[in-house]
Structure 1
Amino acid sequence: MLNDLDIASEDPAELKAVNKLLAEEVKALSLKVEQLQHQLHGANRHRFGSKSETLDQLHLNLAEDKEIAEAAEEQRDPAPSADKSPKRQHSRKPLPDNLERNDTVLVPGDSCQRCGGSFKQLGEDITEELEYVPGRFVVNRIRRPRLSCSCCEKVVQSPLPSRPIERGRPGPGLLAHVLVSKFCDHLPLYRQSQIFGREGIDLDRSTLSDWVGRSTALLEPLADAIGRMVRQGNAVFADDTPVKLQAPGNKKTKTARIWAYVRDERAWVGQSPPLAWYQFTVDRKGEHPQGHLSGYKGWIHADGYAGFKALFG
């Protein structure tokens, strides 16, 4: 249509008509562009919808991993330093009133150790610990009365018992449930947060990340002890398996490795219980199993992977 117009004319009436036609043409083209954009958006959503959800989940998992690593570092070295970022603050929501409460009362004694006088109660501190019993939540309340001697007025109070996370709210059963759900059942923390929310328990994903990070730091000595016991055996079974490792910024994953070293003496009625020691690496270089089993003097059962050959010398 526009090719048929004579826009070289200087007649005001003709120029006015041309302007009108141009405006109509631009409006028609704009509507066409909007229509095509809408169709393209629908086609992309239909074709890449699951991919978009996967990317969203990837971002959440990356955030979880970062928060877990930060919490693990804080658990290993709680002392603040100038190089560390400010400690993250977690909002602590009140626990629902309908949860079962189990009280434990810690009393420092029946009489004053200084003068033998009797105690009178001044008040008490109550520490609530959220615990998970398979199938339900309960709240363990640790009650610690503050007592004053009626003779010498000395004030005493029992200390808090040892707990997995100092000044933390979760009990060991709840921590075990979160860890098993994440690492054994592959249930991301944001989904666990949603599940807890349906039970009336308001636990943010960042709070769960902090718990997981601190728990991994607490479990490191146990993992190291298992590794030492595995390498004390007369025979070790070694193998590796590929795992997908998230690669931020590349929009894809890379192949990492989980190395398994097993001590199992049941076949010859050995005295040691079966043990499995796992190590993670970002690649499959032979230096990894050589470092893991450095100094080992027993038998090694492994496949023909070249990375194990240096151990057979």
Structure 2
Amino acid sequence: MELRATAALPDDIDALKALVLAHAEKLHERDVQLADLKEQLSSRAIEIEHLKLMIAKLRRMQFGRKSEKLDRQIEQLELRLGDLQADEGAADTAAPRATPLPRREGAGRKPLPDHLEREERVHLPASENCPDCGGRLKPLGEDIAEQLEYVRAHFRVIRHRRPKLACACCDCIVQAAAPTRPVDRGIPGPALLAHIAVSKFAYHLPLHRQAVMYARDGVEIDPGTMGYWMGSITQLLTPLVDAVRRYALGGCKVHGDDTPLPVLAPGNGRTKTGRLWVYVRDDRPCGSEEPAAVWFAYTSDRRGEHPQLHLANFT
């Protein structure tokens, strides 16, 4: 390659000087661009760390007085933080590959959890013989790198078949009993109901938005039907809720608070303010190894009789 590059150069000294000067100008321009990019990344990293500290401080303040007013401020800071981190990734991708960028502080990668399913893909050379001399290759070691992938969730139809068997000696017909269903005479399985409930109540995805998401997979579920399903599993979840309540209120101390909750007011197309009472059991800061738990109770108003009723048996 050096011979071919030398042969392509002109013999004229002035022409060579012009080529060297042009190449030097390009290198200088790239160095200037790289210096500007490093300065931008440095200032962006400082702003990212500042936003992280502000968000952490606001989260500590979130459980104090006037905590409801901090929610919107935290959301705005998190949006700004996400934009800055996206810009940082775009800048890293667009940076020249010849000169590596400095390693970002705190960018250490945590190992992937051991409980995740592993799929091994072995990448062998194209030939089993040495590309230089043609000799036989033998194992010398290996490099292992892990990549985190996501397998998209999908729907599945479970068909329950119950064959009927008849006795050859008499008229007796035998058939296995039908398996129980979470919703009587309904088609949803327990995993689907759990997914819809968690998406709605934990991730705040309305039922009509979930219906649009499922329709992209060719499964049309009416939001009203999903609402009916959520109401139907209330009795199934009641024992679990009662167990959480007994455990949360069974410790030596309990932390309680209430937060306003907008609730649809039927008829007038507006919302009214309900109350979500929160009772937390968490003694881990005191060195306890008991797991933490939280129990929620909804009321339509903020009268004192509600916490008195919730804590009637607590001492």
The TM-score with structure 1 as length reference comes to 0.49
The TM-score with structure 2 as length reference comes to 0.49
- Work out which structure has the larger RCO, using CA pairs closer than 8 Å and 6 or more positions apart in sequence: 1
Report the structure, 1 or 2, having the larger strand content: 1
